[in-house]
Chains A and B, each alone.
Chain A
Amino acid sequence: DADVTQTPRNRITKTGKRIMLECSQTKGHDRMYWYRQDPGLGLRLIYYSFDVKDINKGEISDGYSVSRQAQAKFSLSLESAIPNQTALYFCATSDPGTAYQETQYFGPGTRLLVL
């Protein structure tokens, strides 16, 4: 979905390096999310933010940090990358809208390889 963009799309890094994955959206949504996808494990929530001043840990936040720079921007950082953080990372957005009918819009993903 071109409304949610992620940079870079592919990244190779070495163990111990700090890297940042960026997400931008033009949908005007307040809510943003970071997930990682591993083969056979589906998507798991890393962090989420319901507005610019709100940051919450998800299921697997250890080893990650986030920054919500603006309504449209939500960045994920790996302070010291390790090989088991090799995965496909997705950013998503949502708008509360009608009660109990909130859906998420996903970016194209960033494929990260940690050597």
Chain B
Amino acid sequence: SQQGEEDPQALSIQEGENATMNCSYKTSINNLQWYRQNSGRGLVHLILIRSNEREKHSGRLRVTLDTSKKSSSLLITASRAADTASYFCATDLNSKLTFGKGITLSVRP
């Protein structure tokens, strides 16, 4: 069964807008990671946040983690059409990742 549950399942925005995606999980974690998948291709790691961190930035990405609520959010600022993809959160416990079902992001030009 999935550990992470993303919300919303699908998101459609205009280019230039910000995209916010949420993830909730159920058990203890070492870290939480976000991955991106372009249609039918392999996943690519985007950003990792450790359980003792609250916020992290990487380029246009900002991830937050609230371990008391067992939730995380991924913010993509100034979105581009090329950001259109599926995004997955994954929780790491003892070097095993458990993935959520994913969020489909569509960025309209």
Are A and B interaction partners? yes
A-B contacts counted at CB < 8 A amount to 60
Interface of B is mostly: strand
Please state if B40 and A42 are interface contacts (CB–CB under 8 Å).
no
Binds B, one of A12-20, A64-72, A78-86, A96-104: A96-104
In the complex, the answer to whether B50 meets A31 with C-beta atoms within 8 Å is no
Output the residue of B30, B41, B97, B100 with the most chain A CB within 10 A: B97
What is the interface residue range for chain B against chain A?
20 to 34
Complex contact B41–A100 (CB within 8 A)? no
CB distance from A15 to the nearest CB of B (A): 24
Question: Are B44 and A106 within 8 A (Cβ)?
Answer: yes
Count contacts on A: residues with CB < 8 A to the other chain.
31
Pick from B48, B51, B96, B101: contact of A103, CB below 8 A: B48
Measured CA separation A42–B45 after assembly (Å): 15
- Is B40 within 8 A of A111, CB to CB? yes
Question: Of A43, A94, A101, A102, which is within 8 A of B43 by CB?
Answer: A43
Contact with A along B65-109 (1 / 0, CB 8 A): 000000000000000000000001000100111111110000000
Q: Which residue numbers of A lie inside 8 Å of B, CB to CB?
A: 1, 4, 31, 33, 35, 40-45, 48, 50, 58-59, 88, 90, 92, 94, 96, 100-109, 111
| A and B contact pairs by CB, cutoff 8 A, 6 listed | A42-B2, A90-B42, A101-B31, A102-B95, A108-B41, A109-B40
Which chain B residues have a beta carbon within 8 Å of chain A's beta carbons?
A: 1-2, 30-31, 33, 40-45, 48, 50-51, 88, 92, 95-102
